[in-house]
């Protein structure tokens, strides 16, 4: 498996916009600057997850009564402000901030229960009985600076196994790390994107030619094409939150 070190990856990006010989060692100051710019790019792409092409599944336990889950880096355990009806610990998933939720579901006794990803605005604009416990049917995502919160509703009446599939913010890279956290097909796009940032900060925008700009545009389109597109037809389920659908259906 081919995998570059971060140091070599940054050096390659410098060569795209630099007139120096490829055999000349990159000065430490330029190397450090390139790594900072690389991390800034990766973190910015993690904002929406559109250019973070790899999604993954995490599995964990949702204890009885719990309704708040946070996704954050290891060593960072935020506690969302409690409501008058929440007296249960927050579940912290240390996989990095959740950038984009693809889907989530519960497991119990061999049965899978999908969670409905509801808009935060719709959720908080609906009538709800907050102390209600039962089978969680909805999840509401709130994006914060360093972590993402998922609230499930109703809160769990018993212990469930929960799976979340989505894109998570990538960790900070150091000079001696390798690029294995991104797929190999990502290298071309990321090296061109980094070269453009280097040209801007090194005062070498003249080296960023129209041909390079077209190459970056093509590579970016390839990365966007790698991101899954949700083709599910959304049905009208706004009334499910307050249970009025049961009355309409005669249940």
- The secondary structure of 181-198 as a DSSP string is TS-GGGHHHHHHHHHHHH
Residue 203 to residue 225: CA distance in whole angstroms: 32
Residue 245 to residue 251: CA distance in whole angstroms: 8
Pick from 22-36, 81-95, 135-149: least confident: 81-95
Residue 194 to residue 154: CA distance in whole angstroms: 45
Q: Where are the alpha helices (DSSP H) in the chain?
A: 6-17, 28-45, 120-124, 187-201, 210-226, 244-249
Q: Which two tokens stand for residue 86?
A: 């929440």
Residue 144 to residue 39: CA distance in whole angstroms: 19
- Mind listing the pLDDT tens digit for each residue in 100-120? 999 999 998 888 999 999 988
Question: Which is nearest to 9 in space by CA: 201, 213, 191, 204?
Answer: 191
- Mind listing the pLDDT tens digit for each residue in 163-195? 999 999 988 899 889 998 888 889 999 999 999
Phi, psi (degrees; rounded to nearest 5) at 69? -130, 130
The b/e string for 107-144 (b: 16+ C-beta within 10 A; e otherwise) is eeeeeeeebbebeeeebeebeeeeeeeeebbbbbbeee
Residue 151 to residue 94: CA distance in whole angstroms: 16
- The mean pLDDT value for 47-57 works out to 86
Phi, psi (degrees; rounded to nearest 5) at 102? -85, -55
Residue 251 has a pLDDT of 39
Residue 118 to residue 136: CA distance in whole angstroms: 12
Identify the residue with better confidence: 251 or 223. Answer: 223
Residue 86 has a pLDDT of 62
Other C-beta atoms closer than 10 Å to the C-beta of 45 total 23
Residue 227 has a pLDDT of 77
- The mean pLDDT value for 42-61 works out to 88
Eight-state DSSP code of residue 239? G
Residue % of the chain over a pLDDT of 70: 83
Residue 62 has a pLDDT of 94
Residue 74 has pLDDT above 60, yes or no: yes
């Amino acid at each position: 498996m081919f995998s570059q070190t971060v140091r070599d990856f940054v050096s390659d990006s410098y060569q795209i916009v630099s007139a120096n010989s490829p055999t000349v060692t990159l000065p430490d100051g330029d190397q450090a600057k390139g790594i900072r710019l690389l991390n800034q790019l990766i973190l910015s792409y993690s904002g929406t997850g559109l250019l973070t092409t790899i999604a993954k599944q995490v599995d964990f336990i949702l204890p009885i009564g719990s309704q708040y889950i946070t996704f954050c880096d290891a060593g960072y355990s935020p506690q969302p402000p409690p409501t008058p009806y929440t007296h249960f610990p927050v579940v912290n998933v240390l996989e990095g901030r959740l950038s984009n939720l693809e889907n989530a579901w519960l497991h119990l006794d061999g049965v899978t229960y999908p969670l409905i990803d509801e808009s935060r605005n719709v959720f908080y604009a609906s009538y709800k009985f907050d102390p209600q416990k039962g089978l969680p049917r909805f999840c509401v995502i709130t994006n914060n600076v360093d972590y993402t919160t998922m609230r499930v509703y109703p809160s769990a009446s018993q212990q469930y196994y929960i799976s979340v599939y989505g894109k998570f913010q990538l960790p900070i890279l150091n000079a001696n790390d390798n690029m294995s956290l991104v797929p190999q097909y990502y290298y071309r796009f990321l090296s061109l994107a980094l070269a453009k940032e280097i040209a801007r900060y090194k005062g070498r925008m003249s080296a960023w030619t129209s041909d390079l700009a077209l190459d970056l545009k093509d590579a970016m389109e390839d990365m966007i094409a790698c991101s899954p597109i949700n083709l599910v037809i959304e049905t009208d389920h706004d009334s499910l939150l307050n249970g009025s659908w049961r009355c309409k259906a005669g249940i």
